[in-house]
Chain A
Amino acid sequence: MSEKETTTPLERGTRKMDVLMRAFGMRTRIFRGSSRSVVKGTRKIYPYELNATVIETARGVGIRIQLEKLWYTFLKFIPFLILIIISLLSYFVPNIGDNIASATGVNPFKLVLGSEPGFIGLWVVLPILGLIFIGVEILERIIRARYIQDRMPRFLSGAEWEIAEPPIVLDTVSASSNLLWFMYVVMILIFAPLSFSDWVYTKFLEVYKVESSAIFNTTTLISILDIAILSGMLFSILYLNYEKFRGSLDRKQFRYDVMVESQARQMIQIATGTSILATFELILFYFMFWNNITVIQVIIFYVLTVASSVLGTWLFWQKENYIFIALSIWFFLSDVVMIFLNSNNPSYSWMIICHLFLILFIIGISFNRYLEGYLAKKGVYEPSWIFNPFPFFAFVTLFKKKKVRITKSVDKELEEIRDEEMVTRVREREPLTIDANKIKKKGKGADKIIQYYQKILSRIVIGEFSILSITTLNSQILEFLREKKELVPQTKELFTVIDKLLWEDNYKLQNGSKYVKFAEQIYEIVIKMR
């Protein structure tokens, strides 16, 4: 690569920008012009673009980062909007629902909103939830763009660089948006027969010999348990998939996370994440299906969600598939328990049947994991799409055959860039600079010792000096001290300390003040001589 001497600064800048964006986990495309080029990066599945425009100016290469197609984020509001419209229709023109119900037996409004929805609560909650999800994603994008913008100048100048990710809570919240809709589908399935119109529903009650209120209460209770366990376990899948990806990006964290510590950190983050998700679910479903939920049930819901997420994390560490197996086992065992309970209380009858089909549902969902691997091959890391009830953008993105660069070989390219820079630096014979702050950190008085050393050298040598000649300089200094032989061993000790201060990264200076005094003493001797 070093043979390519003809590359312009613009080309070099573009290439670096491309690599940096890919190091941030983006897929990139490059558009080249004569005086400017644009690097487009896509992080998520749907158009989530970050444009970096690299411009050649008289003073070098300039870069501008822009968020593109921000309005696509607002598409997340569509399901909320649909629900708001349905609730408005159901409030103002309930006849539509009744007419459909008398014809088909299913009232679509009741099916979607629950049999006794709290309309005013829904109209408050739905927009708020939608705006939270949109806001979180926009915030995540802005933070990531700023990180890239901040790091770019240092990266372009060849300085040490590292990448950082936005706070994981943002990822968690955006992950919970898809899970929330998944749980909503499950809730519709569980409560569907209770929302059928009377001429169907009375027969349903007659067959099972239960009262309407009894079956409603039991269904609510079991659905609370189901949703808690499902959302806890599935959340741990999503979170740990994000974590896996982040770990490979955020190398610093990856390196320093000791195994036990990282486990504890993950557990805590998952517990907080699931609590957020549980709150969202509780707020939304309270106005739809869980009208008569009690305080004790709320507590059970929270505790069970967190507990199952922790269990799910543990299962994930063993193998990701175990979570789906565990969920199927839960549905089956709870079915058995309910069959026994049902002998005294026939209100469990419906949930027994429903659980049988939910096992099928879980098995179906578990196949969705293959999409995740498929997306990763295409350079898209977005595990939450496996639980998306409407994966439209996933399909659009996968169908489009664009030539994109993915993060796979980014490490190798990074090394190449570093090697090239080393070669050019040596050729240009730039002055070697050592960071004063780095030396300062090595101990008290370290910077003063180096300052005195510099002063001594400047007295002895006029002009520049190079690394190779430092040893000869040191011997020159020792020659100055020929008359004071008692100082020689101490001076030699000082030289080794200075050497370590300059070149050894992990060196810790001790008795700094002693060496400072001694350096000062030598400096004074040198001043007297010259």
Chain B
Amino acid sequence: MKFSKSIISLFVLTAILSTLTIPIEVVGEETGYTSPTNFFQIGGDTNFTAYAVAPLSWELNKQVNLTLYINVTVLPEGSNMSIISLSYRYNLPIPPYTIHKPTSTPNVMVTEANQQVVDRKTFRAPSDVEEFNITIKIIANSSSHPENQVFEMEFPGDLQYIEVEDTSANPIISLPGFPESRTFWRWILIFFVAMIIMTLPASYVAFVKIQQNLRNRKKKGAKKK
């Protein structure tokens, strides 16, 4: 018995150690190519620059981080500038030519010059293409020009394309996690209620058996006395 227990514990230990030693892919790393800085102007008095940072070769089925930096360079005193929305679009050489990614609405208001707005996004490379680029659309306005204005920039700007690396080891299994807690605890509650109701017969028998055993034990004790 002792031997088998030690073997089991050895297995458990190796399993734990192996999970620790296997390198875990870190998603949040921030290295890559920096695109040339684009200069934009709202009205005549508000200037800002924007550039994006992301790797130039994206692996298929892996998450890639793209960070957009917006620097407000000139802002008249007393006025402000707000970024209404940021949207990203893949441009592909083959149909469907464009893929729209979800738009984010940061609604950031900048009141002083030389402030920086950072937008971090994770993307996946489009499948079935070897190269593509990204168009970033910034919608912004300022207090002196309250109408929304659209500005566009490209990533990777001066180079033509981002390369897509098709690694041979594609993940085949995609394990979904549990639903987020809002859904999950509600469902688990329903599940346990159903489980309790459906196993009532079994619990009844268990209850009766335990009761009988107790009674028998009492009887035995009385006899001994």
Which positions in A face B, CB cutoff 8 Å? Answer: 104-106, 111, 182, 185, 188-189, 192-193, 196, 200-201, 203-204, 207-208, 339-340, 342-343, 346, 348-350, 352-353, 357, 360-361, 364-365, 367-368, 370-371, 374, 385-386, 388-391, 394-395, 398
Indicate whether A352 sits within 8 Å of B201 (C-beta atoms), given known contacts A200-B183, A200-B186: no
Contact B191 A353 (CB under 8 A): no
In the bound complex, residues from chain B placing their C-beta under 8 Å from that of A105 are 182, 186
Closest to A204 in B: B183
B179 with A192: CB separation less than 8 A:
no
CA gap between A340 and B171 in the complex, in Å: 10
Complex: A104 Cα to B205 Cα, angstroms: 35
Q: Which of under 10, 10 to 19, 20 to 34, or 35 or more describes the interface residues of B?
A: 20 to 34
Flag B15-40 by CB within 8 Å of A: 1 or 0 each. 00000000000000000000000000
27 pairs, CB–CB < 8 Å, chain A vs chain B: A105-B182, A106-B190, A111-B190, A188-B190, A189-B187, A189-B190, A189-B191, A189-B194, A192-B190, A193-B183, A203-B183, A207-B179, A339-B173, A339-B174, A340-B173, A342-B173, A349-B176, A352-B175, A353-B179, A361-B194, A361-B195, A367-B202, A368-B199, A371-B205, A388-B201, A394-B204, A395-B200
Is there an interface contact between B173 and A389, defined as CB atoms closer than 8 Å? no
Smallest distance from the beta carbon of B172 to chain A beta carbons, Å? 6
**B residues near A188, Cβ cutoff 8 Å:** 190, 194
Interface centre among B171, B176, B197 (most CB of A within 10 A): B176
CA A365 – CA B197 in complex, angstroms?
10
Q: How far is the CA of A298 from the CA of B172 in the complex (A)?
A: 31
Asked if B177 is at the interface of the complex by the 8 Å CB criterion, the answer is yes
Closest residue of chain B to A341, judged by CB? B174
B178, B198, B206: residue with the most chain A Cβ atoms closer than 10 Å? B198
Cβ of A365 and Cβ of B198 under 8 Å apart? yes
- B204 adjacent to A395 (CB under 8 Å): yes
Least CB distance from B102 to A in Å reads: 10
State whether A374 touches B176 (Cβ < 8 A).
Answer: no
Identify which of B174, B186, B205 contacts A343 (C-beta below 8 A).
B174
Whether the Cβ atoms of B202 and A343 lie closer than 8 Å is: no
Give the residues from 130 to 184 in chain B that come closer than 8 angstroms, CB to CB, to chain A.
171-180, 182-183
Known contacts A193-B183, A200-B183: A368-B195 contact under CB 8 Å: no
CA distance A389 to B199 in the complex (A): 8
B7 within 8 A of partner (CB) = no
Residues of A within 8 A of B198 (CB): 182, 185, 361, 364-365, 368, 389
Q: Contacts of B182 on A, CB cut-off 8 Å?
A: 105, 200, 203-204
- Report B183-225 CB contacts with A as 1/0, cut-off 8 Å: 1001100110011011111101110100000000000000000
B197 near A390 with CB under 8 A, answer yes
Which B residues touch A361, using CB under 8 A? 191, 194-195, 198
Q: Give A394 Cβ to nearest chain B Cβ, in Å.
A: 7
